[in-house]
Amino acid sequence: MALKLGRRALLRGIGGVAIALPALEIMFDGKGAHAGPPGAIPKRYIVCFNGQSLGGDDDPLINDYVPNTVGANYDLKSALAPLAAVQGDVSVVSGLKIPTAFDNGGAIPAGGRSDDFHINSLSPLFSGMRSDPAQTVMGATSDQLVADAIAGSTTFKSLVFRVQAAWYLSVSAPYGRDIISYKSAGAGKKPTPIPATVSPKQAFDSLFSSFVPPDNTGAQKAAELELRQRKSVLDLLDKRTGRLLTRLGAADRLRLQAHLDEIRDLERRIGAIPPVASATCLKPGDPGADPALGGNQGSTFDQNLGYSGEDQRAKVFCDLIHMAIVCDLTRVASLQLTMAQSHLNMFGATGQASDLHEIGHHGLPGKDVTLQMSKAIAWHMKHFAYLIGKLKGTAEGAGNLLDNTVAVMLHEGGHGFDPASGKQWSSHSTENMACLIAGRAGGLKPGKHVVATGKHPANVLVSAMNAAGLATSALGEVNGNVPELFT
Amino acid sequence: MRHRWREPLAAVVLAAMVGCSSDGDLLPPRDPNAKPNDAAHAQTAVVSGARRLTRTEYDDTVRDLLGDATNSGFATLPEDVNDPFDNNYMTQLVSPALINAAETLATNAAKRALADPAIHVKIVPCQPTGPADTDCLRKFIATFGRRALRRPLEASEIDEYAALGSFAVEGNAFDVGVELVIRAMLQDVEFLYRVEVGTEVAGVPGVFKLNHFEVATRLSYFLLGTTPDDALLDVAAAQKLGSPGDIRAAAVTIMANPRARERVNRFHALWLSFHQLPHPPDLTAALRAESAALINRVVFDKPSSYLDLFTSSDTYANDFLADHYGLPKPGSTTGAWVAYGNTGRKGILSHGAVLSAGAKFADTSPTQRGKFVQNRLLCREIPAPPPTTKSDNPPSDAPGNCKIDKYKAHATDGACKGCHSQMDPIGFGLENYDKAGVFRATETGKPECPIDGAGDLLGVGPFNGPAGLADKLLASGELEACVVTQLYRFATGRREATEDTPVIQGLATKFVQNDHGFAPLLLEVVADNGFGFRRAQ
């Protein structure tokens, strides 16, 4: 149950000293988070990821995703059926492709990947940079580039959340399939991965623990005390860690400096001015304990049914992203619904006792494998549509929050030729890719199907970055946007 | 008492005067605990870096410090990379997710501890006279700090923590100060990481002798997976961990701790991939009990050649598990030893827990099982496929085809053959055993597809079933060497490098000399001359 908060004119400052900031009042009129002049309304950027391709092996039905009709009022195929309520706010971009080494005479092309599919599509997909033999993402990702530009003084420069709670395949590890956000580490250096927050409960606590009930001076005092205590503890940690660093060898110093940097970022976050409650900025209900990892009912991870209540986790993360944006705690979020080459058990969504990766590999005509894949995609779309609907349903300025938001849904692959196996209809393909782009930020005109034959998914991300106010003509090595999305 | 630990402060002061050592460290003073053999022993020191506690280590450590059995860290801290061990510090990343979790976990654990009178009395060593009882707070900081940070605190550090006592006065409650100290310590870098500094060994640049407390920490996390207890910290305080002989003696004591069994079991669970099982709770519990019983028997209860783990002719099963396997029921709901007879089973490779490795929800994967045997049991790495080879695509399921046929197609495909011939034939030899270890004569759901169970370990020879595989693995001589390598990875928290080869080979030799005793092997690891040292990365 949401707790409605009164507006707070007093904002906490450094050391818990209350500071009056009446100037901010003009920005909030009680109707929405940002009701000031249009120029004052920030833009928001969301990127979501689905770790699967659009079609199944050997199925000549390349997907049940891309509409037959082009332009507005496109037909909704089974993979996109959950979008019905928000279709007018969501564009489908089809005809996309990430080029391969095979396409380029054996050398990985700019913005392209090596011929082996898994993990190698991630670098071009998220950063526009070609994959490398070490199979890491080679450039900063769009969400982090946008955050650098538009985060402003928000408490959370970006939110990085993942729904799939564990890797699940006991004989291996994700090796990067679990990370979709990377920030720049400086020119000429590999970007720094940002492992996601996986616990919805932790995300809730981090975002909203500073909220206190309205007009409750007791709670206000308790919150103020708690803040001072946290600061004292973090200050002590900061000093102690700094002192320890001087005693360490070079490698450990580097390792623990990264830890100290994060301690300092937490200090900054808790020292930030807390959100101002309004008619729309409300404290969400506490999600409670996270669903058990692996379906385990005991105390250790000794059971692994490949599922940890991801359906519920996804809903909570969408709720948190929505409210964090409403309260201007953040303007940028990445939400990884499933890992690349995902071993999430999809039984609940598809009725097939199979993990997401296996679904695509049940091969051969007559098995309707692409339709099974579409059921799995639709599970992702259900949550994407829920988030879009919540943004749309939140008043802001003269319109709604979605008017100032751009949200993209990316998929790991498409369906078509796989240069590694030579198969014509393979799920291990980055041909015939498609993605979604929703919202009206920056003059986007959503609600249509755009066939962008030969374009790269990163071209759609450039459009989204442009819509969020980042005047760039490229993402990594991929140049240009998709102009039709703005007309 | 609290003035005894002056060394770190002295190190900083002196280092400022004498400049930097060979790995960029500030040069510490000459170690008062230096021994004449240090320079010789330092020769086999291996690289080590700051290791963050794994999720499981974190939970077990909080359990031992605060009597907190909630295992809260597991669900909240970022997932460890199982490579196959969860403690490879080279894969550990820092993130806001980590920092946020550390803060929340520390806060909640502190509150839980103080809400429980039984725990309160254990961790606060005095009865406070009031909120402002600084002496009592300082006593708590010294005793709990030594446990949490795994070394005595300097007086100046105690002063720093004691400053949090101002909140106790403000809140008019002594425990507020205690709570904040616990919160701070459980977020401390020296708590979350096992940080080793040591003292550079004279004449051996780049090698540092660990202090006694650092050795205690290494020992405890390796052998018990948790923080050193008071007794071991006392041994460190008495400076009795400065030589291989002393370390071995301490390890013998540690090995009598029941948690040593859990640790050895954990090593096997991670190594053989049964730390998480894709089965319902009752089967999962029975399978884990089965494997734990065999490991405990071979290592602890009736210590024998570790190779017996792979050749045992009986297994520990309750009626439920015996029925699962089709073995005679022992008439026990808890479990008893049941003879395998001529079922084709032998040792731990016949256990459902191990046969679950690499299984998907639908069925076994001969490729994954073969890879498992190569990587985990023989320490052979299957080379990454060439850039133009598709590596991650299960074979298509042609209607009417038997499963074996599609896998055998790998053998005729030139691009696949090179790697798959090293994996699939091993899996074929285990195909008569399904993903939960139950015998089957035909493929699951395909009675028209008989399974002949004919397997082949490339370069060693044909086999049939897990018993046959165990024989071939032992005959190859590679399994026993691989066990040592895997244990070394577990101990050092990283993959071995070329420089580690002499140490690993030395351990392998001793493993043979000690009639393949596993407990003796653990002792050899910690009693190695280099164990009490670190080499700069």
CA B499-B501-B504 angle, 5° bins: 130
Q: Which domain holds residue A240?
A: 1-28+212-273
Give residue A7's pLDDT: 33
Is residue B10 over pLDDT 60?
A: no
The CA distance from A325 to the nearest CA of chain B, in Å, is 18
Is residue B334 over pLDDT 70?
A: yes
| B458 Cβ under 8 Å from any chain A Cβ | no
Q: Out of B474, B497, B519, pick the residue that ends a domain.
A: B474
Strands (E), B252-404: 314-317, 336-339
Asked whether residue A148 falls in the same domain as residue A43, the answer is yes
pLDDT per position as a tens digit, B154-166: 999 999 999 999 9
pLDDT per position as a tens digit, B171-192: 999 999 999 999 999 999 999 9
**Number of domains comprising chain A:** 2
The CA distance from B36 to the nearest CA of chain A, in Å, is 25
Is residue B478 over pLDDT 90?
A: yes
Distance, CA of A191 to CA of A148 (rounded, Å): 14
pTM for this entry: 0.91
Q: Is residue B283 part of a domain?
A: yes
Q: Which residue of B has its CA nearest to A225?
A: B167
User: Regarding predicted confidence, which is higher, B22 or B121?
Assistant: B121
Asked whether residue A427 falls in the same domain as residue A384, the answer is yes
Asked whether residue B86 falls in the same domain as residue B166, the answer is yes
Contact predicate B222/B491, CB 8 Å: yes
Give residue A133's pLDDT: 82
Give residue B204's pLDDT: 95
Q: Do A193 and B69 touch (CB under 8 A)?
A: no
Give residue B361's pLDDT: 53
Q: Write down the mean pLDDT value for chain B.
A: 90
Give residue A9's pLDDT: 30
| B350 Cβ under 8 Å from any chain A Cβ | no
Asked whether residue A130 falls in the same domain as residue A245, the answer is no
Q: Which domain holds residue B303?
A: 263-353
Q: Is residue B502 part of a domain?
A: no
Check which CATH number belongs to the domain holding A458 and give it.
3.40.720.10
Contact predicate B94/A194, CB 8 Å: no
Confidence of residue A272 (pLDDT cuts 50, 70, 90): confident
Is residue B413 over pLDDT 70?
A: no
This model of the complex carries an ipTM of 0.90
Q: Could you count the other beta carbons within 10 Å of the beta carbon of residue B399?
A: 9
Confidence of residue A420 (pLDDT cuts 50, 70, 90): confident
Rounded to a whole number of angstroms, the distance between the first and last alpha carbons of chain A is: 41
Asked whether residue B374 falls in the same domain as residue B457, the answer is yes
Radius of gyration of chain B (CA): 26
- Chain A residues closer than 8 Å to B278 by CB: 170, 303-306
Tokens of A292: 């058990």
Which stretch of A268-277, B191-200, B391-400 has the lowest confidence by average pLDDT?
Answer: B391-400
Q: Do A253 and B24 touch (CB under 8 A)?
A: yes
Distance, CA of A1 to CA of A4 (rounded, Å): 9
User: Regarding predicted confidence, which is higher, A420 or A151?
Assistant: A151
Confidence of residue B390 (pLDDT cuts 50, 70, 90): very low
Asked whether residue B379 falls in the same domain as residue B281, the answer is no
Asked whether residue A324 falls in the same domain as residue A187, the answer is yes
The packing angle between helices B478-492 and B518-527, to 10°, is: 50
Asked whether residue B317 falls in the same domain as residue B370, the answer is no
Q: Write down the mean pLDDT value for chain A.
A: 89
Q: Is residue B223 part of a domain?
A: no
Residues B8-28, mean pLDDT to the nearest whole number: 41
Distance, CA of B235 to CA of B252 (rounded, Å): 13
Tokens of B416: 């696949």
User: Regarding predicted confidence, which is higher, B414 or B388?
Assistant: B414
Asked whether residue B112 falls in the same domain as residue B182, the answer is yes
Which stretch of A152-156, A181-185, A257-261, B5-9 has the lowest confidence by average pLDDT?
Answer: B5-9
Confidence of residue A154 (pLDDT cuts 50, 70, 90): very high
pLDDT per position as a tens digit, B298-318: 999 999 999 999 999 999 999
E strand or H helix at A12, and its extent? strand A10-12
Q: Do A301 and B278 touch (CB under 8 A)?
A: no
Q: Out of A223, A251, A273, pick the residue that ends a domain.
A: A273
Sign, CA torsion B303/B307/B313/B318: positive
- Chain B residues closer than 8 Å to A367 by CB: 397
Considering only CB atoms, B50 lies closest to which of A102, A252, A296, namely A252
Asked whether residue A413 falls in the same domain as residue A348, the answer is yes
Asked whether residue B307 falls in the same domain as residue B369, the answer is no
User: Regarding predicted confidence, which is higher, A330 or A278?
Assistant: A330
Q: Do B82 and A173 touch (CB under 8 A)?
A: yes
| B72 Cβ under 8 Å from any chain A Cβ | no
The CA distance from A102 to the nearest CA of chain B, in Å, is 8
pLDDT per position as a tens digit, A83-93: 999 999 999 99
Asked whether residue B162 falls in the same domain as residue B69, the answer is yes
pLDDT per position as a tens digit, B187-220: 999 999 999 999 999 999 999 999 999 999 999 9
Distance, CA of A111 to CA of A103 (rounded, Å): 12
SS3 B445: coil
Is residue A3 over pLDDT 70?
A: no
Q: Is residue B499 part of a domain?
A: no
Asked whether residue A152 falls in the same domain as residue A69, the answer is yes
The CA distance from A66 to the nearest CA of chain B, in Å, is 25
Distance, CA of B250 to CA of B244 (rounded, Å): 10
Considering only CB atoms, B394 lies closest to which of A255, A300, A361, namely A361
Q: Is residue B167 part of a domain?
A: yes
Q: Is residue B215 part of a domain?
A: no
Give residue B83's pLDDT: 87
Residues B338-343, mean pLDDT to the nearest whole number: 94
Asked whether residue B164 falls in the same domain as residue B59, the answer is yes
pLDDT per position as a tens digit, A293-341: 886 645 455 678 889 999 999 999 999 999 999 999 999 999 999 999 9
Give residue A368's pLDDT: 87
Confidence of residue B24 (pLDDT cuts 50, 70, 90): very low
Asked whether residue B341 falls in the same domain as residue B363, the answer is no
Confidence of residue A274 (pLDDT cuts 50, 70, 90): confident
Asked whether residue B372 falls in the same domain as residue B445, the answer is yes
Q: Do B76 and A201 touch (CB under 8 A)?
A: yes
Is residue B465 over pLDDT 50?
A: yes
Asked whether residue A246 falls in the same domain as residue A130, the answer is no
Q: Is residue B334 part of a domain?
A: yes
Closest CA to B279 of B352, B333, B329: B352
Is residue A463 over pLDDT 50?
A: yes
Asked whether residue A171 falls in the same domain as residue A305, the answer is yes
Confidence of residue B537 (pLDDT cuts 50, 70, 90): confident
Is residue A407 over pLDDT 80?
A: yes
One DSSP character per residue, A221-284 reads HHHHHHHHHHHHHHHHHHHHHHHHHTTS-HHHHHHHHHHHHHHHHHHHHHHSPPPPP-SS--BP
Give residue A40's pLDDT: 79
Give residue A242's pLDDT: 97
Give residue A423's pLDDT: 85
Asked whether residue B111 falls in the same domain as residue B163, the answer is yes
Asked whether residue A121 falls in the same domain as residue A225, the answer is no
The CA distance from A159 to the nearest CA of chain B, in Å, is 10
* % of chain A at pLDDT higher than 90: 72
Is residue A23 over pLDDT 60?
A: no
pLDDT per position as a tens digit, A106-148: 999 999 999 988 899 999 999 999 999 888 899 999 999 999 9
Asked whether residue B78 falls in the same domain as residue B175, the answer is yes
Tokens of B161: 């923590």
Q: Out of B416, B449, B474, pick the residue that ends a domain.
A: B474
Burial readout A263-299 (b: 16 or more C-beta within 10 A, e: otherwise): bbebbebbbbebbbbbbbbbbbeebeebbbbbbbeee
pLDDT per position as a tens digit, B272-299: 999 988 888 889 999 999 999 999 999 9
Residues A238-243, mean pLDDT to the nearest whole number: 98
Asked whether residue A265 falls in the same domain as residue A280, the answer is no
Q: Is residue B211 part of a domain?
A: no
Asked whether residue A154 falls in the same domain as residue A265, the answer is no
Confidence of residue A13 (pLDDT cuts 50, 70, 90): very low
Give residue A60's pLDDT: 87
Q: Could you count the other beta carbons within 10 Å of the beta carbon of residue B414?
A: 7
**Number of domains comprising chain B:** 3
Which stretch of A48-52, B273-277, B406-410 has the lowest confidence by average pLDDT?
Answer: B406-410
Which stretch of A328-337, B30-39, B363-372, B379-388 has the lowest confidence by average pLDDT?
Answer: B379-388
Closest CA to A408 of A324, A486, A335, A356: A335
Find which of B388, B391, B406, B489 to mutate to test the A interface (most A CBs within 10 Å of its CB): B388
Residues A233-252, mean pLDDT to the nearest whole number: 97
User: Regarding predicted confidence, which is higher, B32 or B196?
Assistant: B196
